[in-house]
Amino acid sequence: VTAGGTMLGLALLMSGVLGWASRRFHITEDPRLEQIEKVLPQANCGACGCVGCREFAEAVLKGEVPVEGCPVGGATVADAIAEILGVSVEARSPRWVIVHCGAECAKRLKRTPYYGERTCAAAHLVSGVQGCTYGCLGLGDCERACPFDAIDIINGLAVVDYHKCTGCGKCIAACPRKIIELVSFTADPLMIVACANRDPGREVRAVCRVGCIACGICRKTAPDIFKVTDNLSVIDYRNHPSDDRSRLELAARKCPTKCLVYRGRKAGTAVSRAGALQGEAEQPPA
C-alpha cells in the first residue's frame, strides 16, 4: 500500500510539473501559418529552397524568403500569401527552364550504338556515344527528375512543356551535360540558342547539323541582343524585346544552322514523338 501510495504521489507530482511547464513554455502559433499552408500547392518539391511547404510557410512568416518564393504556385499563390500578410508583391516574369540543344537524333553525327545503362549520367561517361560532347544524350534523366511531368524525350531530345514547367530546377541538377538553364521569360515566346557546343565552327559542323558555328551573323543583326563568347552565340536577355521581335526573327532567318529558336507557352512545337535515341538498338545484337 505504501509503495502504491508513493507511486500515486509521484504521478500526481509529475503531472503537476508537466502541466505547469506546458503553460509556462507554451508558444502560441501564428494563425497565419495555417492560412499560408492552405494556399500552398503542397508539392513539397523543395524548389523554393525549403524542405517542404510547411517550412516555406514558416520561413515566409520570418521574412527569410519572399512571398513569391514558391515557383510551383507562381503568381496566384504569391498574391494569396501577400493578402494574408497584408503586403504587396511585385509582378514577376515566370521562370522556366530552357534546353540548350536542338539536335534530334537524325541531326547528330558520328554517333555509335550505346548498350550501357540507359541513363544520361552513365552515357556521359562513355567516350564516342555521339560526336558532340556537349549536347543532349536523350536518355531521360531530366524527364524522370521532373516532379510535374513537364519534360518529354522526343526524337532523342529533351522537350519542355511550358504549360507544366514550374521552374523548380530539378532537371538542371539531373542533367550531366549541364545544358538546362533557368531563365526569366520576360517575353513569351522567348528566343534561345539551342546549342551548347563551344568548339570551333568547323568541328561543330562535323558532329551536328544544327549546332552554333559562331559565324556572328546574329551579332551583326542585333549587337545589343547577341554576343559570341567562346565560339557560341549568347543572348543578353536584359535586352530581349517583349513586343517587336523583327530583329530576332531576322537573325533567326539568317542563321545558317537554324539554332535560334523560340521557346515558351506561345512558341508551339513542331516535333513528333519518338523513343529516346531513336534508331539505336536497345539490346546488343545476338
Cα end-to-end distance, the chain, whole Å: 85
pTM (two decimals): 0.77
Domain boundaries defined on the chain: 31-92, 95-263
Q: Which of 176, 190, 162, 209 is nearest to 263 (CA)?
A: 190
CA 7 to chain centre: 61
**CATH architecture, range 31-92:** Orthogonal Bundle (1.10)
One-character DSSP codes across the chain = -HHHHHHHHHHHHHHHHHHHHHHHS--PPPHHHHHHHHHS------TTSSSSHHHHHHHHHHTSS-TT--TTTHHHHHHHHHHHHT--------EEEEES----GGGB-S-----S-SSHHHHTTSTTSSS-SSS---S-HHHHH-TT--EEEETTEEEE-TTT-----HHHHH-TT--EEEEE-SSSSEEEE-----S-HHHHHHHBSS------HHHHH-TTTEEEETTEEEE-GGG--SS--HHHHHHHHH-TT--EEEESTTT--------TTTTS-SS---
Q: What is the mean pLDDT of each run of 10 residues along the chain (286 residues)?
A: 73 77 69 92 86 92 89 88 89 90 95 93 94 97 96 97 92 97 94 98 97 97 97 96 92 97 80 33 30
Query: Per CATH, which fold does 95-263 belong to?
Result: Alpha-Beta Plaits (3.30.70)
- Cα–Cα distance between 11 and 7 in angstroms, integer? 6
- Cα–Cα distance between 14 and 168 in angstroms, integer? 49
User: How long a stretch of residues is the chain?
Assistant: 286
Residue 43 near residue 147, CB atoms below 8 Å: yes
Supply the pLDDT for residue 23. Answer: 67
- Cα–Cα distance between 128 and 111 in angstroms, integer? 7
- Cα–Cα distance between 180 and 258 in angstroms, integer? 19
Supply the pLDDT for residue 1. Answer: 54
Supply the pLDDT for residue 268. Answer: 66
Supply the pLDDT for residue 281. Answer: 30
- Cα–Cα distance between 180 and 135 in angstroms, integer? 10
Supply the pLDDT for residue 137. Answer: 97
Supply the pLDDT for residue 279. Answer: 32
SS3 string, 262-276, reads EECCCCCCCCCCCCC
